[in-house]
Chains A and B, each alone.
Chain A
């Protein structure tokens, strides 16, 4: 039973949280600040609980009390700045391991946290009685950079009139950004949430709204929420704003919130939500677990959907009116996803990060069931194929995606995913792209499990999990039942085997415990004598992202006499499989051919090979393996498959295969499909593009009008005058989508000069000209946008003469027409904006295309103005895409800089993230190519960005890491100067080796760094080591220890480097605190200074404390200087707590030069030591060349009380 397993769940913490109160007293929109307190009720599970570790980031903590006694605390966040050392390595391997270590050091799942509270000694004795402790923390947030997002439009009026709002956001467990908590999915507790907000605002949060009370002055009101269902802190969210309230007309427990003026859209968009509810409740035979549900639509959302307990936050851009076609299914899908996550993800939470795939898988799977029911089987199968193709492409390109990483912990260095440049040990180190693929694979694997055990059992399992959780949730904490609400991989698998009695072990082993997909190559021959189909299936399991498959595979053979399924066993060495054919006789005239679905149809068999009864063959038609199949069969077989196979997946496969057969027969088959109303519209859309490709390939033999033109004319133009399109009528969505797609595909046609045929261009221009939407019930904005896309597609490179500057006079007349249309559309959009500004988006793309093809001068200024904050987000992204493209093509350093500045400064998190992913997708240069852009300053800037500039947003930081990887690869960027050329002062050869080596041996999370890569160059590496030592005590011993250890502990490296003498340390401290001997830590001193600081903290006017800091410093503000974290492991428990109290820093700069000649090693040592008292000597630092381009230096350590 999974119950046993769950009982076995052991909290990594020496206490158990049972209840938490969050009270936000004050939300200031003007200053973007929040003041509040939390109170955690905890049960110690050990005697003598003396230290409580909680998670908290960027909160300013004023006081901590445990059971009304003031408690000292330490705040230390190593993720603020990942690499403290003034390392010149700039090496991604190094960074990744340091980052992983930093995240581990505060990982709540390992019992760690940024905030360490010392339980007052008076309470220690009570530990025996296991008495409840109440931890009360007062905190505030000032201009939060993560966790909470303030949207304050810059218009006249009160905050409510301006539509100002604030909401919580984050990637994975990020609640620590806005209040102190145990930020783990596995620590459940009940909640009481209070928000005092302006009387004109509404505060929406998790749980039931118990009451709303005015404050005494009647100008504010307090919203009281209770969440009696045990919930993990990451599933808590809130939104405050002048929302309009809509109670769902079908379900009164459901309330929708949107920003002012959008209520009509909200009404329409939410009108079907009840159907989703009903669907899930029905298939899961379980009521929605929470007593209410709230949807909030906010501007500048972090993600389109984010779910938390009993509430989901959506992007306001998903709202739409009834006139919009294209957005409707998208919005519904998002809602369905959000709701699925309510059951699995919010209500049932995961036990650990490695169990994430189960929850993502189940929620994705039931979402798929909803798609199947609502949008039909075709859409569902199409979606599955799409998802399968995505994951297969990703894995083959980037390497495997591992669903269930097991970290056997300890000192083992094996890395389950050595091909990745990031660690998958924590959600916070994952690349966003990888995480999306992870989710995609998770639900596909769920589907595989369903295939294995049947849907009925699958739903029974879900129902069982939910009802167990339901029972548990209603219990008191003391019953120890709450862990039933956590789901683990093993618990899930046990449930499956209990319910179904089937062993799915091999399946799990293949797809969950192992990464990679299967790549099949298939071909066949028909043996006429034996009447046997000889099928050969080969696998590629050596290239990256692939794995070997052994087991059954289904093959469907359509013969003249019917369709037959065969199950073959793929074994180690057998490639060939003989499949007996059923059809004995050669075709019987007039006989109908039975299909798989029982249908019998007439076919024109003249195309087929007269010797063979085979019509077509499909390998793994049910997509029961995560695979890519490359199958060879004759073109006529693909054509038969396209025409007569009823499965949309088969049709789509046939279409992509037919691209390789540009013949008249293929053309006919595709045209027939295009014309068939019964055919799934997405297949027909795909056929359009295939037809365009075929037409281009058959250019010389093509007869008749350009492909699809007559078809389009027949379907959408007036009978009487075929050159004029009918006035729009989009009542039939299938033909609407086809009408949208055909011109886009047609524009891809090319004539012998590789130009878009004049006829086609004029045709598209006519479509634009005669477009008339006055009688239409629906908006035509997407249609018009696609017509502009069609114009874009028709563009071909201009014939350039001597690179002359493009002027109007040299404009090609066709291009002039196109440009006129675009200008007009873009200008009209200013007067009559279209929904989601789709037309502007298309126009910007078109203009960039004109520029890229050399028709008009390449110039980014237009795009830059559209990319500014204040435009609709879709427009901004399109404009940014154009700027990114410009940067790549023109190698413009200015634009690149501009983009990076925006990454750092843009108010919208999504845009910042998007810029990085656009840059990574379309990089201005790569590690392989030389580029003038690639220089030291850039390396420093990016390094700084990922090292410390993005500490408030995991997703952004991972995006920066991705970009760094794309640009420079894993090793030291090639553009950095070689050691001798650079910095004489800071040379110390050995150090570069040192740190990573230590990491390798100490941090289980740091297996990635491969020092040998770094040193194979046999170049001297230089690096500066700055040991940030706070107050000289806590970390210094480690620093020393590490140095001492290195020669002993580090495995010999290739090109071995010798350890030289430990650095001398000389302290010159200007602060008022005396230098302390690192080795001598006097606990008393520590406590004293702790008290001293605390005193200071209270004295200071709190908000002003940060205000005085230069902006970059802010993030580091509360941070305690940290060692590279793995070192923390043991000693830190005893010593690191004192780290925070010291007010000065020691910087040890060890400059060593090390030279190596052949097999001999010589050593030169230079030691320079500087000890700056940071707070006083900022300028000095800046001047000192040692720091000049070291992002880490200026901000590494500041403790709050530094400022005297």
Chain B
């Protein structure tokens, strides 16, 4: 039955729009019913039948008190360029983000403090780890674990590691070169990130042998220079060949 009623409504609407109106009239309904095969004339009879059920009006309940919406802050009024007929702003809480974490400490001292201790912790952890996994030397005879020193290991080309800047330093140099302009303002934000980068680089460095600097190929211009050391090596004279 619900389907029928919907159908009636739909068709009525359609026929009304068909006649370029927006509100269905009675005649529209009638036409609809006719089309659906009802006998319209029997309707008044049916409506006036004796044992018709009367549906009582629903009991009037107290209109539910709309709970006062939580006013979170003052609603903003429209700025001048918004016509007043536009809807009001919603409550501020709907669009103002509420921080759910503590504000980061931006105080310079604390940041430096933190950076320093973080770096120190990382370094200590790293060196302890290295010391634990490798050979160590100790300063105390009674307790070999206190102040472990990573054992000195001679290298076959000691000057390379001693002279070449480590990759970390090179990297830092590039960074400072590019950002030389922005002065030493005590920036805070990057600190945490940087520290992680650093330690990452530290580890890399520990693994990679330092001195990955590949000697650059001589510039072309230098080939123009007449220097005996750049001249091609001569072939031995042919006559001397057997």
A residues in contact (CB < 8 Å) with B: 153-155, 162-163, 199, 202, 208-216, 221, 244-245, 247, 249, 252-253, 255, 259-265, 292, 299, 316-317, 319-323, 718, 720-721, 724, 726-727, 729, 769-770, 772-777, 779, 805-808, 819-820, 823-824, 826-828, 830-833, 835-837, 847, 850, 856-857, 859, 861-862, 865-866, 868-874
Contact = CB atoms under 8 A, between A and B. Distances in A.
B156 A154 contact: yes
A866 B157 CA distance: 15
Contacts of B81: none
B174 to A, nearest CB: 11
B123 interface: yes
Nearest to B241: A216
A299 to B, nearest CB: 5
B71 interface: no
B86 interface: no
A294 B108 CA distance: 53
A29 to B, nearest CB: 14
Contact of B165 (A154, A209, A321): A321
Contacts of B143: 807-808
Interface string B86-124: 000000000000000000000011001101110010011
Contacts of B149: 823, 826-827, 862
Contacts of B115: 772
A807 B141 CA distance: 8
A299 B163 CA distance: 12
B46 interface: no
Interface stretch (B29-37, B72-80, B126-134): B126-134
Given A209-B228, A870-B155, A729 B184 contact: yes
B221 to A, nearest CB: 9
Contacts, number: 215
Contacts of B142: 805, 807-808
Interface residues of B, number: 75
A317 B162 contact: yes
B229 A221 contact: no
A202 B165 contact: no
A215 B112 contact: no
Contact of A721 (B109, B127, B139, B198): B109
A304 to B, nearest CB: 14
B228 A861 contact: no
B168 A247 contact: no
A264 B225 contact: no
B17 interface: no
A261 B241 contact: no
Given A216-B241, A856-B139, A262 B164 contact: yes
B229 A245 contact: yes
Contacts of B140: 806-808, 856-857
Given A221-B233, A265-B164, 4 more contacts: A260-B215, A264-B213, A831-B202, A862-B152
A833 B225 contact: no
Contacts of B53: none
B59 interface: no
A248 to B, nearest CB: 9
Given A317-B159, A769-B116, A861-B137, A202 B154 contact: no
Interface in B171-227: 172-173, 175-177, 180, 184, 186, 194, 198, 202, 205-206, 210-211, 213, 215-216, 222, 225-227
B225 A252 contact: yes
Nearest to B110: A721
Nearest to A830: B150
Interface string B15-38: 000000000000000000000000
B227 A255 contact: yes
A269 to B, nearest CB: 10
The 5 closest A-B pairs by CB, nearest first: A870-B154, A827-B127, A209-B228, A721-B109, A872-B162
Contacts of B153: 830, 870
B58 interface: no
Contacts of B194: 774
B40 interface: no
Contact of A830 (B130, B176, B230, B236): B130
B152 A262 contact: no
Nearest to B126: A831
A859 B141 contact: yes
Nearest to A155: B156
A317 B169 contact: no
Given A211-B234, A772-B112, A869-B154, A833 B161 contact: yes
Contacts of A321: 164-165
Contact of B124 (A805, A824, A836, A862): A824
A101 B79 CA distance: 109
Contacts of B150: 826-827, 830
Nearest to B138: A862
Given A264-B213, A769-B120, A833 B180 contact: no
A216 B240 contact: yes
Contacts of B147: 819-820, 823
Tell me which of A252, A772, A832, A873 has the highest count of chain B C-beta atoms within 10 A of its own C-beta.
A832
